[in-house]
Structure 1
């Protein structure tokens, strides 16, 4: 059966050790160290932004972005129901109201054609979340934002190195956020980044990141912030990773193309779109969806893979089906069938940066096996 194949393993064989040793040798391990500003500047340049604000994780990047934009009690923010809970949680914690739309069945991103019908006088922003490998169709979103004078929050957590019509993901919102969790193209272990071109927004985010300390009277606070600081150690790893982003993007696309070659003719599987007219899939993860002809669901498929020592992960569970939000009285009676189907029949297979060609072959063989083991 072979050694276990984890769903994700990062690649850390660049200059990570060299930069970490520099942190240790100089004693600069906290957020005051020089790698933080260097990482912020180089990452912002990469995504064609004026400002980069490094933070402790991608979830808190969203929290800070929402507060920095002045979104609060009674405001509505439109977002996809098919996303990670961090997106809706940031809205709810600010006292605002999440309003969700269903997914496009082909790209798995938010269905942009459903957004306009959800806009009300209370709508303050649209939060776009680029899902799994392809970006949201941004022209339509930006047209709506202009028409209704709405803010655009771009969650580009999964899109390091991806572009939309040649423009970097992360450059497409009033404010944009990234995650550097270990399964991302660039990792710092835990970490995130807020990027923007707006000087005031950037200043506000930096203040919120640092407990809203004031320059003149450090321990006198006009506002409440968080300690969201990224350490020099994390930024050192991030900088080493950023240096290899083009290589990593190429590697991910090769992985995705190989999986598609091996699984393209397998009955019972819907595979990710290789491209749209505005982007080529970056395959942050390689997701598959069981067709309706398959009698079992994603939970059973992942169980079968686990028995073969193959790691996998479920797709996101929709926001409108989250018990925590039902307890708050949100999304009562709402149904979004595409997202519900993706959640129940979708999962992703090993997709980490360190995945080898041999492992890809074994995963593909195993996926074919579990679909032919009966119950289909």
Structure 2
């Protein structure tokens, strides 16, 4: 996006892998039969998003796309656990939505100060001390650490503003923002001077203020992506109130009423909820008309017939601006707070492709490890405390040929089968 404003970015985040458990045995003078004392692997680091109020764009993510947290360290002897991997913190502007690229669903709305774990680190593997039993006193195996979550996400910035200034290009939105706040947007007499949203705080009176955003000019077809299109319409989504500026002077050779209707039609096409948002209409550049009030009265009659409040102003001459801001503050006092997005429910991935490769390993005479991607998904989708769910789990394993493979490799009744953190005794 032009002028360094980036409001959408796709990044790849990889949480740390858990460290492997250790195979070790106690070594101490005068203790000839020390038992297993292999320590557990450390947990992999998380990838965590936090809000940074000093950031206003997603520019930092344009050139760096991959973010990797630290791996957990392997366990050691003497029951020493490995150190946890270092978590990686990603800073984003307030108002950033985090979406899952694969589903498009919203994972989190970074509008408050709470950190959000985008990708969780893998658990560390158990050391061999966990596998000692009365019949297996010298376990010579341990569990490897699990991989951390690996996902692609989309960061999408939706500015947090109470009021959004909308209108055609060059109707005076940037001028109005500069007059009523301390913002310093670029101002010039040509279309699309504003190529990225500007924010300003409007102080109406003691204890009464609000944030206003100057949204770059909307043109016909914006809802379909024309002009600056969707790039900036998304920034109005959170606004509680819209101030619709119309150039009543016709200085651009356009009809003010046609402009007003065209912008509202684009809002409606983009998002019906947005079109229904409370709106104040302000006829700007009234000073250019001199004593000719006919265009003002004509626009006022059209606007008020549609139920909107109407104000006259000349932002450049500082005329009517304070009255408009007081009216906006009065309306905001009775409106709900700035929109926050709730995470989308993403149903668990169905277990359908049981043809994916499985890794089956005989770790000891009576201990077997079975791992594979679809088994992880299966475990996440069943409640093993429920009888019907356990029967479903057993049936899927049998139909996928897991037990047949174990039997062909020599598994015996009474052997322990480990599927990740789940362990059970095999019975044919």
Instruction: Determine if the TM-score, normalized by the shorter chain, exceeds 0.5.
Output: no
Q: Which has the higher helix share?
A: 1
What TM-score do the two structures reach when normalised by structure 1? Answer: 0.24
- Bigger radius of gyration among the two: 2
Q: Which one scores higher on RCO, CA 8 angstroms, separation ≥ 6?
A: 1
Q: What is the TM-score normalised by the length of structure 2?
A: 0.22
